[in-house]
Amino acid sequence: MQAPIVTLTMNPALDVSISVDRVVPERKLRSGPGRFDPGGGGINVTRAIRNLGGSSTAVYPLGGPTGEAYRSLAEAAGVSGHVIRIAGETRESFTVHDSSTGELYRFILPGPEFVEREWRACLSVVGHNLPRGGFLVASGSLPPGVPADFYARVTRLAAGQDVRVVVDASGPALEAALAQGLFLIKPSRDELAELVGAHGELDTDEQLRAVGALVTEGRAEHVALSLGGEGALLAWADGTLRLSTPRVEVASAVGAGDAFLAGLVLRLAEGQPIESAFRTAVAAGSATAAMPATELCSAEDVATLEGQLGLG
């Protein structure tokens, strides 16, 4: 039996991925067929959860013709949930693969401007669909017009409702949410450094102290620190776990962090111990990094990579 999971994506993006022979300026760059995916943090988490055999409900705003295209793609991908209509046009993001070098170029648009009644409508939908006994995953950037404390407001809605709130964000949005006390956050090393006001990259000992402080101060029960190709670190009241990344040929890092979060939350929702959930998370992130463009991990690949991992 799986506990309920609801994902919230305030700034979804229609992900467009193409490949060209070589990226050069001032020339028409002709590509092969493009790939189109419904993207954005929470939606990617929902898609990855589905790939891993789990289920979740997605809450997300859409607007304009791009929003209509997005909704069709989401439905085709098996995403179910609640769509909030907005006046602005859903954004797009572009990933261009340079075949000659293997490099990826990512272009991210800011998203539509929200008016107050629109973001309050999103808040209301979340409040009416709280996953009691389960997990609420608020993931991704906040679009223009949405207040920086939006995720904090979401967290307050869930207070006392037997809902474990997970926030994957950065900057003021994350700081405000942490003030309410969260179940889990998933910063990158750069986001952790920003969060603690460090100038430059944190070394290993500084990372351990930083994530430990977040837990002991009661700001987050769990901190899953993403270290890219070096693996991940998980801290909670009972200790820390560290895992190295399994060996994969990286094709695209797009969505890897979302897949990591999906694996972690899904396994916890299934009642698995934190050590097992963490192993699945690292395997899911790595399996996604081995996929092209914006494609997410498969359950088979994740299971294979889990077999290579040992807890350190």
Residue 99 above 70 pLDDT?
A: yes
Using only the alpha carbons of the chain, give its radius of gyration: 19
162 catalytic per annotation: no
SS3 25: coil
Mean pLDDT of 211-229: 94
Position 312 confidence tier, pLDDT thresholds 50, 70, 90: very low
β-strands 13-20, 5-8: how paired?
unpaired
Q: Decide: 213 and 195 in contact? Cβ < 8 Å.
A: no
Whose tokens are 């700081």? That residue is 175
Instruction: Give me 19's structure tokens.
Output: 């490949």
Question: Of 40, 71, 205, which is closest to residue 137 (Cα–Cα)?
Answer: 40
Q: What is the pTM of this model?
A: 0.94
> What is the spatial distance between Cα 62 and Cα 178, in angstroms, rounded to a whole number?
27
From 24-38, 79-93, 143-157, 256-270, the region with the lowest mean pLDDT: 24-38
SS3 94: strand
Domains and CATH numbers, the chain: 5-306 (3.40.1190.20)
Instruction: Give me 288's structure tokens.
Output: 């996604």
Residue 49, pLDDT score: 98
Could you say which of 37, 149, 258, 301 is catalytic? 258
